[in-house]
Amino acid sequence: MTGVAATQLRVPYIIAHADEAAPQPLSFVRKPFGGLRLTYGDPRRGDTVNGVLRARVLNTRQGAPQWRMLNTLRQWRCMTKNLCQVCGKIATDPETGRIPWITTATAFREIPEISTSGYTSAPATCAACIPESLSMCPQLHVSSAVWTVSTATPAAVLADMFRPDPAGRAVHTGEHNVFVGLDERDLLRSALATQLVVRIQDMQPAPHLAGTP
């Protein structure tokens, strides 16, 4: 930790840093059984996760924080391991086995007729980090609720969408943060995932975690 900013404001674990940007040499290739699929020209281990092509980023936390951007690798890691998006440690309460979660209007999608479950692109926040999170993030003041949940299961991604040009090069369609279900095979062929979306289950209100009596 160096500098005045670091002592005043902790940079959350999932926030992207300027020097973590990586080249994205994308193209379309024709797969067996027909059909074009978005891929990297130099495929590497870890490019494809949950059957989805994932945007490449470094995981160094070097460079200025990009407050409006998430680091894809760390966001994904939080979602699959139930880590806290602020401190990066396990968010699950060791006594109850339940996971504390803040939901916001922008990062939460309801499931009609199932009020205790929903889709979210915002990872868990551990109990220790919740008060800080609520006090520091202006967006959370506007529309947030604190819950505990029983499970979080990968269900979809937010993706940038691409189309092939006549030479097979990948052209961004201009669409960002498109919600694509992990079962939407056709759409996934043209998607570069930047965030993993989970379905959280058995949501129970937990206002005591927010410091509210």
Contacting residues toward Zn ion, per CB under 5 A = 84, 86-87, 126, 129
Least distance to Zn ion from the beta carbon of 44, Å?
A: 30
Please say which residue, 89 or 169, places its beta carbon nearer to Zn ion.
Answer: 89
Least distance to Zn ion from the beta carbon of 86, Å?
A: 4
Please say which residue, 86 or 122, places its beta carbon nearer to Zn ion.
Answer: 86
Q: Return d(Cα 27, Cα 173) in angstroms, integer.
A: 14
Please say which residue, 131 or 164, places its beta carbon nearer to Zn ion.
Answer: 131
Closest Cα partner for 199 from 87, 70, 111? 111
**Residues near 194 by Cβ (< 8 Å), separated by ≥ 6?**
54, 55, 70, 72, 157, 158, 159, 160, 176, 177
Please say which residue, 86 or 193, places its beta carbon nearer to Zn ion.
Answer: 86
Give whole-number Cα distances, 102 to 2, 126, 141, 205, 209, in Å: 29, 9, 11, 10, 10
Least distance to Zn ion from the beta carbon of 179, Å?
A: 26
Please say which residue, 104 or 117, places its beta carbon nearer to Zn ion.
Answer: 104
Least distance to Zn ion from the beta carbon of 63, Å?
A: 23
Least distance to Zn ion from the beta carbon of 162, Å?
A: 35
Q: Return d(Cα 174, Cα 97) in angstroms, integer.
A: 41
Least distance to Zn ion from the beta carbon of 161, Å?
A: 33
**Which is it for strands 65-70 and 114-120: parallel, antiparallel or unpaired?**
unpaired
Please say which residue, 103 or 190, places its beta carbon nearer to Zn ion.
Answer: 103
- At 6, the amino acid letter reads A
Are 99 and 124 contacting, i.e. CB atoms less than 8 angstroms apart? yes
Q: Return d(Cα 154, Cα 28) in angstroms, integer.
A: 26
